[in-house]
Amino acid sequence: MNLGTFSVSLSVKDLAASRKFYETLGFSAIFGDADQGWLILQNGEAKIGLFHGMFEGNLLTFNPTDARGIQRVLKAAGIPLLAEADETTTGPAHLTFTDPDGNTILIDQHV
């Protein structure tokens, strides 16, 4: 199973303050829209998503090319899903589930 690229998606209280903090650590905004409350920052291979008002808590995020295929594997393994991708569609999709410690994992296919 290829989970694609990995990033941490952080639910932030103040997008501008968080952006400034991570830019101090060498991150640069590569995608997103601050006016819509989200930015993706990168430093080398490390990526962080900053999201204001979109979800509670932080997420482990993977960006595969086949979210529905991963969903089928997870279901076959008996892993309960919090949100499912629509199997009748193609293109962008997402699903969420938790690990044994309650950490939320987002599988987010962009194309």
Extents of the domains making up the chain:
5-109
Report the SS3 class of residue 69. helix
CATH class of segment(s) 5-109? alpha beta
Q: What's the pLDDT tens digit per position in 54-108? A: 998 999 999 999 999 999 999 999 999 999 999 999 999 999 999 999 999 999 9
Report residue 23's pLDDT band, with 50, 70 and 90 as the boundaries. very high
Rounded Cα gap, residues 103 and 16, in angstroms: 26
CA distance 39 to 68: 25
**Quick one: pLDDT band at residue 5, thresholds 50, 70, 90?**
very high
Query: What's the confidence (pLDDT) of residue 35?
Result: 96
